[in-house]
Structure formats: structure tokens, C-alpha cells
Structure 1
Amino acid sequence: MSDTSPALDFLLTRRSRPAKLLAAPVPDRDALTVLLTAAARSPDHGKLEPWRFIVLEAAAMQRLAALVVARGTALGRDPDTIEKARADHANSPLAVAVISAPKPSEKIPQIEQVLSAGAVCLALLNAALAAGWGANWLSGWASHDRDFVTQGLGLAESERVAGLIHIGTATRIPPERPRPDLTAITEWVSA
């Protein structure tokens, strides 16, 4: 089997684009539907679909930015921390919240369902990058605040934000960053 292919070349060279460097234009609904379709092909043991998408367009991101300020203030967070989270939301032209929504199952443990939601995040990120968009996977303190996700996204108690995938046009490409040393993180077991 060949060790190179366009798909493998993409995976070996893929590079997220920082969310703060993303701008309009963004994918329209048809283009975004293709990306969501690709993401939904992630491993899903038991076909439970233990995740869902919330597409957050620019006005929704502005609303969430205001909620970040309100929640951060109520929680007594540092003003710089609040401002960074506010800017992440306010400056984003489009984000998809991937929601981890585990289902009751005797066969499929909850951890596998949560990991499936993480796989969906990476698949959506890679689909956006492969389609030529800039994209970044973020979360941050607000996406883990129960009041924020309940008020801002309408999540049920059993649901969590697996990630916010910001998608747009990259205004510039940052320099390459160091990658893991595979010899330090890989163990080969022969017997």
C-alpha cells in the first residue's frame, strides 16, 4: 500500500487557523451542510448520535459575547479573562457548537459517546480546512459554565459543549509550530 495520498498529505500538513484571524466571508448554509455531513460520519458506536450541532451565526456570537461578560462578572472572573472570552465570541463570524449529548445505553459507555463528540469536532475542523476555509477548535471557561450554556445555547442538563469550531476566511497564516516528538510518546509492543 502506498504511504502517500492526497488525504494523508492533507492530514500530515493540516494547520488550524487561529480564531482571531478568521473573518467573513463564511460558508453559506449549503457549504456548511456539506461540512456538517462530513463531521457526522465520525465513529459512533451503536449509532446513537450522541452529539448535535448548533450553528452560531454572527448575531448569535454577539449575543453570546454579551452573555460572557455578564457570566464572567457574576463569577468574579478577572477582567482580562472576561475580555479574551468576549472577543473570541464577538469577533467570530461563524462557529458551530458541537454538543456532546450522551444517550442512555447498556452497550455503549458514556465515555465512548463523549469521545465520539470529540471526534466530530476534529472531523468538522478538518472538513472545513480541507474545503479551503480557516478553522479553529476552541472552548474556554464560558463553554463549561452551566448557566452560560443553559442560557446561551439552551443545553439540557445532560449536555455539554465538546467544542466551538470557528470557521471563516483566514486573514493570514501563522508560522508553523513545533509538533510532538513521536519517539517520546510512542511505545511499540511486539509480543
Structure 2
Amino acid sequence: MDALELLLNRHSCPRLAEPAPAGEQLELIFKAGLRAPDHATLTPWEFIVFAGEQRYRLGDILAAAAEARGEVPEAVDKARNAPLRAPLVIAVAARVKPHDKVPELEQHLSAGCALMAMQMAAQAQGFNGIWRSGWFIFDRGVHRQLGLGEQDQLVGFLYLGTPLMEVRKLPERDPAQFVRYFDR
């Protein structure tokens, strides 16, 4: 698939099944993520992979966080089952490093770029996925269970697999509605 075609037709797929990317395919996905913009070459990312039975462990972590928040039992169950919606889940974290010229926000953005690059690399290889976030990515208990430090920040969970549905084409957007040329 042509790179420009891929970017212009980017879409997420919430319904995913086996097979998930593995082996060389998964390695290429990680390599794409590692090409994200990275001011001062800080490499402020970490990719935490949950495949197979490890998705249940992630579900337990999310359910415990939901319980700690006081969520209703249905929401706790939903959290527990969330990672089972795809055969592969990758938590993407910004591993923030102190730097005089690269603020935390810039490192968070870099990790977000890594996540999108990984999703695009999966799609280019015939897979698909969806970037999921929600309150989980800000929960410090989830962070601790994933081995993240106080300075680190989850930017999302990348769910990957084979699409179970034909994804509808996203509506075309007119750039003129979002672009302004500075003229002062």
C-alpha cells in the first residue's frame, strides 16, 4: 500500500480477531514506532505487550482500578473484558526523561506518534487496530501495576488483530475548515 494512500485512508477497527501480527510483522510494527519524532534522541517510549493469557492479566489490572474508583459491577466487568476485544494489546507509555530542552509534553506527544506509526504499520501489513485510551491511561494504580514510574504516562492501548468487519470509509474533511494561513 502506498504511504500517502495509507495515511489518507487511516481508520480504526474496533472488532478484531486472530491472527494478530507476530514475528517479523510485529517486529516491523515496533520498528515503525521507534521512528517517531524524538527531540534530543531521548527515546521516551516503552511498548508493553499483552498477548494470549497476558490479556487476562491486563484485564485484572483494569478491573482492580475500576473497583478502586468505585465503579459499578458492570463497569468493573467491562474493564476486565476490555483487553479480550483483540488478540494483541500493546500499552504505549511515555518514559519521561528529565531534559532542559524537551518538556514532558513533547515526550508524551512523541509516544503518541509512536503509537500511531505502529497502527499504520499494522494496517500496511493487512492487519488493523484501534487506539484506546479513557481514564485507564491516567490511573496511577494502573501505571504502578505496569511498572511505570511517577514521571511516566500511558498514552494509550493499541489493540491489534485481523479486522472482523469491513470498516466504513471515514468522511472526507475539507482542509479549508481547519487551516488558517497567518497574515499579520
- Common topology (TM > 0.5): yes
Distance 1:157 1:45 in 2: 21
Q: Which amino acid aligns with 2:105?
A: I
Shift of 1:180: 4.1
Question: Which of 8, 12, 16 is the aligned partner of 2:12?
Answer: 16
Aligned-partner SS, 2:109 = helix
Q: Which amino acid aligns with 2:25?
A: A
Structure 1's unaligned 5+ residue stretches are none
Q: TM-score, normalised on structure 1?
A: 0.87
Shift of 1:170: 0.7
Paired position in structure 1 for 2:56: 62
What does the per-residue CA deviation read over 1:13-36, in whole Å, with 9 as the maximum and x for residues that have no partner?
A: 122111xx1111111133211110
Shift of 1:184: 2.4
What does the per-residue CA deviation read over 1:52-98, in whole Å, with 9 as the maximum and x for residues that have no partner?
A: 11111121111111222222122111344333333321332111111
Paired position in structure 1 for 2:120: 126
Aligned-partner SS, 1:53 = strand
Paired position in structure 2 for 1:48: 42
User: Quick one: percent identity of the two aligned structures?
Assistant: 36
- How has the CA–CA distance of structure 1 residues 44 and 82 changed in structure 2, closer, same or farther, with 3 Å as cutoff? same
Paired position in structure 1 for 2:96: 102
Between the two proteins, the alignment pairs up a number of residues equal to 184
Distance 2:138 2:50 in 1: 17
Which shifted more, 72-81 or 37-46?
72-81
Distance 2:57 2:98 in 1: 32
Aligned-partner SS, 1:173 = coil
CA RMSD of aligned residues (A): 1.9
Structure 2's unaligned 5+ residue stretches are none
Asked if structure 1 preserves the Cα contact closer than 8 Å seen for 2:92 and 2:157, the reply is yes
Asked if structure 2 preserves the Cα contact closer than 8 Å seen for 1:85 and 1:140, the reply is no
What does the per-residue CA deviation read over 1:84-120, in whole Å, with 9 as the maximum and x for residues that have no partner?
A: 3333213321111111011111122222111111111
- How has the CA–CA distance of structure 1 residues 91 and 13 changed in structure 2, closer, same or farther, with 3 Å as cutoff? closer
Paired position in structure 1 for 2:152: 159
Q: TM-score, normalised on structure 2?
A: 0.90
Paired position in structure 2 for 1:33: 27
Distance 1:75 1:13 in 2: 38
Aligned-partner SS, 2:158 = strand
Paired position in structure 1 for 2:181: 188
Distance 1:111 1:62 in 2: 31
Q: Does residue 137 of structure 2 align to residue 114 of structure 1?
A: no
